[in-house]
Chains A and B, each alone.
Chain A
Amino acid sequence: MKSAGGKRRSRRKVAFVAHCLVNQNAKVAEFARLPGVVSPVIDLLKSSGYVIEQLPCPELLFNGATRWWTTKDIYDNPGYRRHCRSLAKFSADVIERYQRDGYEVILIGLDGSPSSGVRFTGTSEPIWGGRPDARIDEYKIVPGRGIWIDELAKELDERGIPFPKASGVPMDSPDFDMDRSVAELASFLSD
């Protein structure tokens, strides 16, 4: 892109990020890995020239800060999907505005999350439900989107807005490694 003065300007960029990448307080108990901001991720996006937009956390807003561990199977019900869709409506308004203003839009989710997973989400084996009695080794990471990202994609699709180029930081995976994940994100950003 060239300015009126003829100087070459890079295209403006915005990253819509999973809420908890900026606020780890939103994580369900035992799944926060840092006290507040996931700084290796946010700092990389900022230093790469991205405006940061924080998506809402549907789980915190639906089940609160003291919720039980949950899986995609449990969240995959009409009420939770309707809740996610209501959040998707105003989030899509903002995504649409940035796209209309010519920004390159990307989305960075939370891989392994039942809601915010982009490439991977979480289920359980055996399927959880009923009396809370979960073990972390029963939480299974499987390919697919979380419910929130799925509903956001549907909302965008219904508006004729392309789903942004997207990836996820796999912080809900048991074998999560920050250095490896940041390197993977850097590679994604440079593609």
Chain B
Amino acid sequence: MVIIADYFLNPQQYERLPNSPHVYECVRDSGYGIIKMPPLAMPKVALTGWISSVADQIQEYGNRGFTVLLVGMNSLPGKGVWASQLKKELSARGVEMPATKNLSPSDVASRDSTKKSLGGFLR
């Protein structure tokens, strides 16, 4: 499965970035399940529980032999995936961050550019 930034599932919420459906469509069409990270406007009080539950999933799926990947967005704070908080939580458990691909606006501009950027990653 792929852990993705909220932006990729809900691009219409991000006025300064392309309203691009391509990452969602590429992941969907590749047969991967999605674990969506919290939006940037996440209430701080909820963040700890959410990040902890994502770390639980990375740990559990990893232990069971599932492929777990992470796709972030370069132009968003924390790559849109709360990268430092997630890394800190995983580090405390002795678990490595999933294989990660961070995209740029040009990568999500078209279906072709997205497929080119993610094609080799979503193996």
Contacts and interface: CB of A to CB of B under 8 A. Distances in A.
A26 B38 CA distance: 18
B36 interface: yes
Interface in B29-50: 30-36, 38, 41-43, 45-50
Given A35-B31, A37-B28, A87-B53, A52 B36 contact: yes
Contacts, number: 85
Contact of B34 (A37, A60, A66, A94): A37
A10 to B, nearest CB: 12
Contact of A36 (B10, B28, B41, B42): B28
Nearest to B35: A23
A189 interface: no
Q: How large is the interface on A (under 10, 10 to 19, 20 to 34, 35 or more residues)?
A: 20 to 34
A39 B63 CA distance: 27
B56 interface: yes
Nearest to A36: B33
A142 B11 CA distance: 38
A161 interface: no
A33 interface: no
A64 B60 contact: yes
Q: Main secondary structure on chain A at its contact with chain B?
A: helix
Interface of B: 1, 9-10, 12-13, 21, 24, 27-28, 30-36, 38, 41-43, 45-50, 53, 56-57, 60-61, 64, 66
16 contacts: A22-B35, A22-B36, A26-B33, A35-B31, A37-B33, A37-B34, A46-B21, A51-B13, A60-B60, A61-B56, A65-B60, A89-B46, A90-B47, A90-B48, A94-B46, A96-B43
Contact of B1 (A36, A39, A97): A36
Interface string A60-98: 110011100000000000000000001101110110110
Interface of A: 22-26, 35-37, 39, 42, 46, 51-54, 56, 60-61, 64-66, 86-87, 89-91, 93-94, 96-97
A90 B50 contact: yes
B33 A25 contact: yes
B33 A24 contact: yes
A37 B31 CA distance: 7
B64 A66 contact: yes
B71 to A, nearest CB: 14
A64 B31 CA distance: 21
B68 to A, nearest CB: 10
Contacts of B31: 35-36
Contact of B42 (A24, A52, A66, A94): A94
A97 B42 CA distance: 8
Given A90-B47, A90-B48, A97-B41, 19 more contacts: A22-B34, A23-B1, A35-B31, A36-B27, A36-B31, A36-B32, A37-B27, A46-B24, A52-B10, A54-B34, A54-B35, A56-B50, A65-B60, A86-B49, A89-B49, A93-B45, A96-B43, A97-B42, A97-B43
